[in-house]
Amino acid sequence: MKIGILCYPTFGGSGVVATELGKALAEKGHSVHFITYSQPVRLEHFTENVFYHEVSVADYPLFEYAPYETALTSKLVDVARFEKLDIVHVHYAIPHASVAYMAKQIMESQGLKLPFITTLHGTDITLVGKNESYNPVVTFAINHSDAVTSVSESLRKETYNNFKVDKEIEVIPNFIDLRRFNKQRRDHFRRAIAPNNERLIVHASNFRPVKRISDVLKVFNKVADKIPSKLLLIGDGPERNRVEKECREICNGEHVLFLGKIDVVEEILSICDLFVLPSETESFGLAALEAMACQVPVISTNTGGLPEVNVNGFCGYMSDVGDVDDMAKNAIHILEDDSRLLQFKKNALEHAKTFDIQRILPIYQALYEKVLAEQK
């Protein structure tokens, strides 16, 4: 198949899922065309059967906001016609689903077909999409997709609860490439960061308010009072400056490292003992799955799709949003005993294997084939 993929090219989970799925499809022999405003971060080097089409948005003094959606639609039509795309898969409904719908209409006006699948990822439904600025268009585009998937059952339910969607939504969970995400020997990193064999606690995210990173600091402080520990913060975003200031006020600065955006996050995860994800809302929590694949147990909230990813008492623990005392209690329980920590690490990998990309990819392929069969 010739597949077009629309996504955000950023560090966020939806862009990562879209890129890793595209690469895996290309490995199976499909031609995969990414169409977005910059090179997807996980598309670091040449990959056979993978093509990248950059969207250029022509500006004009009249525009307060350059119409990216219009430029993306035009680019998609151009790529669909000249690369003869069979299907388009869009990740994160805003603005990708309405772009694909418009492109489909343009192609049909020229006697050509362009079915599209919309994958809902999270805040396109739980936060941004609910806003009246977007809701009518998002609802229409979901209902006019040829197929719709969500990354968790929780997100599926939230979509039906918040949008007048009458379309069937298939739950296809996010996945992990265990060939990349596995515990790697980086003892020299560990010795450098934890010379006194401190426990290493880690958080990775896009540093947005929804991630509640202040709770990461609070949990860390409570743990560090009992167990010699250090905190690694991976990622960057709108909350970083505020969190750095808060950290200087409430944490021992020598014990907290802000690492910024890291391409090979698996190398850092491989030396860590606990991943903390105290999000306000989280439709899946791909970062938690990546940690588990590197044998890092997870302390998270029980919001959204996280109970479909984390298993209480097996590969980590879950607490109510904001309950930093409970999160710290559970973190200490895991970290205070070497054999218990080792068991949680083994369980984390065992659970991560249930999301192996090799198990999830065929589900997407079957959906593509089903949509194409319906076009005949």
User: What tokens appear for 362 in the block?
Assistant: 């065929």
Nearer to ligand GMT, 256 or 286 (CB): 286
Binding track, positions 177-206, relative to ligand GMT; x by CB under 6 A: ------------------------------
| Region binding ligand GMT by CB under 6 A among candidate stretches 40-48, 108-116, 220-228, 280-288 | 280-288
Q: Tell me, by CB under 6 A, how many residues bind ligand GMT.
A: 20
User: What tokens appear for 307 in the block?
Assistant: 């109970």
| Region binding ligand GMT by CB under 6 A among candidate stretches 214-222, 236-244, 265-273, 277-285 | 277-285
Site for ligand GMT in 121-140 (CB under 6 A): 121-123, 126
Q: Where are the beta strands (DSSP E) in the chain?
A: 2-6, 31-36, 50-54, 87-91, 116-120, 147-150, 169-171, 199-204, 229-234, 256-260, 274-277, 298-301, 316-319
Among 31, 174, 270, 300, binds ligand GMT (CB under 6 A): 174
Nearer to ligand GMT, 75 or 212 (CB): 212
Site for ligand GMT in 13-42 (CB under 6 A): 13-15, 17
Instruction: Tell me the residue type at 254.
Output: E
Least separation in angstroms between CB 152 and ligand GMT = 8
Least separation in angstroms between CB 4 and ligand GMT = 19
Give the residue at shortest CB distance from ligand GMT.
122
Q: Specify whether the CB–CB gap between 144 and 164 falls below 8 A.
A: no
Among 106, 210, 227, 372, binds ligand GMT (CB under 6 A): 210
151 forms part of the interface with ligand GMT (CB under 6 A) = yes
Q: What is the DSSP string of 138-175?
A: HHHHHHTSSEEEESSHHHHHHHHHHS---S-EEE----
Q: Specify whether the CB–CB gap between 277 and 299 falls below 8 A.
A: yes
Which residues is 150 bridged to in the sheet? 120, 171
List strands edge to edge, sheet with 2-6. 50-54, 31-36, 2-6, 87-91, 116-120, 147-150, 169-171
Which residues are at the interface with ligand GMT (CB under 6 A)?
8, 12-15, 17, 92, 121-123, 126, 151, 174, 210, 281-286
